[in-house]
Amino acid sequence: MATVNIGGSTGYIAASTLTGSSGDSNRTLVLSETDITATGMQVFINGAYAHYGLDYSFSGSTITFLNAVFDQQIISGTYVTGYSTSTDTDYCTPDEVWQELDGKDSDDISEDRVIDAIQAAEGLIDTKTETSFKAITVSDEMHTGDRYSLDVSPDQLDTVGDSGTRRDNMFGCYKNRVKTDFSPIVSITSLSVNGAGPASADSWTELTEQEGSSGDFYVEDARSGIIDFLTNYPRLGKRSWKTTYVYGYDRDSTVREVVMLFRVVNRLAILLSCQQILTTKSSGSVFDSSMDVKIGTIEIKSGAQSSRTYLESIKPQIQTLWEQLSELGIEVI
């Protein structure tokens, strides 16, 4: 996947390039790529953050601005390309989304459309929490050893001591604490250190995890992704150490805190999915029928305004769920 600027190398476009006339609502911008979703998309109008579902919608390759946009304004932001098609959903199911929309089914909203909305919601949740609420394997994550990425564990200081001298050579140091790029760690599949110099061919030595029967490294804090080397310390320099590991959360866990997390994530995914479905309907592209649709007490006309009341009503619920994740120890950006 790759991050692309709206407007390419300039990083912005003039609103005069949008469809429609200055001051109109529902003006559109068609992006050149097709393998994108609303996941991770950020849009700014004159530098002010535009809220997905309230200020703009997205479908296919088209951004639709729901409120008045004037030609003299500037549109900027970023989006991510390279999303692959999948029918997998993890945080909620299509049935849960249909049920939230007053018991609808695939005859009312196609399953493909609902799955797209769920996957976009899952991507947004992962992006804002910088983790995943499912198990994801990271293969051969490569790390440089330097003063910023290597540290000394407290027990290393207590047992070995710190001479206070710098150890900036390529072939060994007492700094033994490292951190993976993603967390929490579910399991370590492999961890290796490189014994070769920076300009030489790699010489990897695979280490064993200390789980009570001897080993070279220990997962000190799985939640934060912290690993302590017990021997065979990583050297300083490029391609110092690498690891293959699984991070995220075990969905079969019976730990009360994890179960509570899944419940919050489940409800959040349902509401975010419904938000996307209703918003995109405003541009006439998500529901199978181009006719107006009535979902229980929510009647969606051809424009965005008639669905705004419902979208506003779930906005505080969504905000509360983000706050609950924070209260459960998940950092939300």
Question: At residue 165, does pLDDT exceed 70?
Answer: no
Q: E strands of 95-184, at which residues?
A: 136-145, 177-179
Report which secondary-structure segment, H or E, holds 28.
Answer: strand 27-30
Residue the block writes with tokens 């409800």: 267
> What is d(CA 281, CA 71) in angstroms, rounded to the nearest whole number?
25
Q: Which residues pair with 138 in a beta bridge?
A: 245
39 or 263: whose pLDDT is higher?
A: 263
Domain range list for the chain: 2-81, 94-131+252-327, 137-247
- The phi, psi pair for 78, rounded to 5°, reads -140, 160
> What is d(CA 263, CA 156) in angstroms, rounded to the nearest whole number?
40
- Quote the mean pLDDT of the chain: 82
Q: Are 150 and 174 in contact (CB under 8 A)?
A: no
Q: Which residues pair with 326 in a beta bridge?
A: none
DSSP states of 2-22: EEEETTGGGSEEEGGGSSS-T
Compute the C-alpha angle 297/302/304, nearest 5°. 75
Identify the pLDDT of residue 276: 85
pTM of the complete model: 0.60
159 or 196: whose pLDDT is higher?
A: 196
Question: At residue 249, does pLDDT exceed 70?
Answer: yes
Q: Tell me: the pLDDT tens digits for 9-37?
A: 777 899 999 999 999 999 999 988 777 76
Identify the pLDDT of residue 29: 92
Question: pLDDT exceeding 70 applies to what percent of the chain?
Answer: 83
